[in-house]
């Protein structure tokens, strides 16, 4: 449903996005991760035909981004949650959605049914008649999400959709996105939240001007190429630190835990535990684990100019 090849956007001498190539299939949730200024919002704006591309190719539902004849059809096919919600503050939640539904030529009965379904799904039906200007930032974000879906688009472009939401509301939105996936919608999700990406994305791309890596969350975790052993102790003492230092390449402390980088846990863990015990340590638990998505993300971003 979404295809890009060499997609590039420059703002004067500054290249915001360079040579971007990826595909998102029908019914897939694809997450774009990256630091501030990485180009995530620029990608969404190009795909929704809000700004032009400088070079390269992009298609949404087989229609060409940058082709004036396809632009309106792409906009009808896409539901966008921008980084700035941009609602009509004096109107109620219901009237905001009704207004945008009319812009998309949604028939009256269908429009009313969809507005009710969306507001109920996001826990906002009871607030439908309140003016948006009285809402919290999180409530406004929910209305922006409903607005993006009021015309039943096939593709959702979500730019930080859980920003400003408390944990309960963020979970409601994540569950809502997963329900749209069940309906066969294609979702491109911009997020800083690694845990969120890991929970709901089928694949993830790390972006920093250009694409640094793409894969499933599990595949991306494995790219960090290191494994860890976590030893939880009653107390970490100088004697314990001294005892394990010759045995490992690196380790760090987290309260009463030692997080040790290891190449072969089965071979190295027994020697580590023995050294800790000889140094007077009381071991509460030993856990072997692999690298996290955060490890891979930081490795990719820090290693890129």
pLDDT in tens, 245-280: 999 888 889 889 998 988 778 888 899 999 999 999
Write out pLDDT tens, residues 34-59. 998 999 999 999 999 999 999 999 99
Superfamily of structural domain 2-218: P-loop containing nucleotide triphosphate hydrolases (3.40.50.300)
- Helices 108-121 & 137-149 angle (0-180, nearest 10): 140
Binned at pLDDT 50, 70 and 90, residue 287 comes out as: confident
Query: What local confidence, expressed as pLDDT, does residue 72 receive?
Result: 93
Tell me the pLDDT tens digit for each residue of 87-130.
999 999 999 999 999 999 999 999 999 999 999 999 999 999 99
pLDDT at residue 290, as a whole number: 66
- In this chain, the answer to whether the domains covering 2-218 and 227-289 adopt an identical fold is no
Q: CATH fold of 227-289, please?
A: Alpha-Beta Plaits (3.30.70)
Query: Which of 298, 150, 103 is CA-nearest to residue 220?
Result: 298
Mind listing the pLDDT tens digit for each residue in 2-23? 999 999 999 999 999 999 999 9
Three-class SS of residue 184? coil
Give the DSSP per-residue string, 122-172.
TT-GGGTTSBGGGS-HHHHHHHHHHHHHTT--SEEEEESTTTT--HHHHHH
For residue 66, pLDDT over 80 is answered with: yes
Question: pLDDT band for position 224 (50/70/90)?
Answer: low
Q: What is the mean pLDDT of residues 139-161?
A: 95
Specify the pTM.
Answer: 0.80
Kindly list the domain boundaries of the chain, sorted by start residue: 2-218, 227-289
How confident is the model over 210-231, as a mean pLDDT?
Answer: 84
Average pLDDT for the chain: 92
- Mean pLDDT across the stretch 141-161? 95
What per-residue confidence (pLDDT) applies to 289? 72
């Amino acid at each position: 449903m979404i295809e890009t090849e060499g997609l590039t956007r420059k703002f004067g001498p500054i290249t915001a996005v360079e040579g971007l190539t990826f595909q998102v299939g029908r019914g897939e949730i694809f997450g774009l991760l990256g630091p501030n200024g990485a180009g995530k919002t620029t990608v969404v704006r190009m795909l929704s035909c809000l700004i032009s591309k400088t070079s390269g190719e992009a298609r949404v539902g087989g229609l060409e981004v940058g082709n004036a004849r396809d632009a309106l059809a792409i906009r009808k096919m896409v539901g966008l949650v921008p980084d700035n919600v941009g609602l009509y503050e004096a109107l109620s939640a219901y009237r905001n959605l009704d207004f945008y539904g009319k812009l998309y030529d949604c028939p009256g009965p269908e429009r009313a049914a969809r507005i009710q379904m969306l507001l109920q799904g996001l826990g906002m039906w009871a607030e439908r008649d309140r003016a948006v200007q009285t809402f919290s930032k999180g409530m406004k974000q929910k209305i922006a999400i409903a607005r993006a879906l009021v015309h039943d688009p096939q593709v959702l472009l979500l730019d930080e959709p859980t920003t400003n939401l408390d944990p309960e509301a963020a979970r409601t939105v994540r569950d809502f996105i997963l329900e749209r996936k069940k309906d066969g919608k294609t979702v491109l999700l911009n997020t800083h939240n690694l845990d969120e990406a890991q929970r709901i994305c089928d694949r993830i791309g790390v972006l920093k001007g250009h694409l640094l890596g793409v894969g499933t969350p599990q595949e991306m975790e494995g790219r960090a190429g290191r494994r860890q052993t976590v030893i939880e102790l009653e107390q970490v003492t100088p004697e314990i630190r001294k005892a394990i230092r010759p045995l490992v390449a690196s380790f760090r402390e987290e309260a009463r835990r030692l997080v040790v980088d290891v190449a072969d846990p089965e071979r190295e863990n027994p020697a580590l535990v023995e050294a800790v015990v000889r140094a007077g340590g009381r071991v509460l638990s030993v856990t072997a684990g692999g690298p996290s998505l955060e490890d891979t993300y930081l490795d990719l971003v820090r290693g890129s100019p």
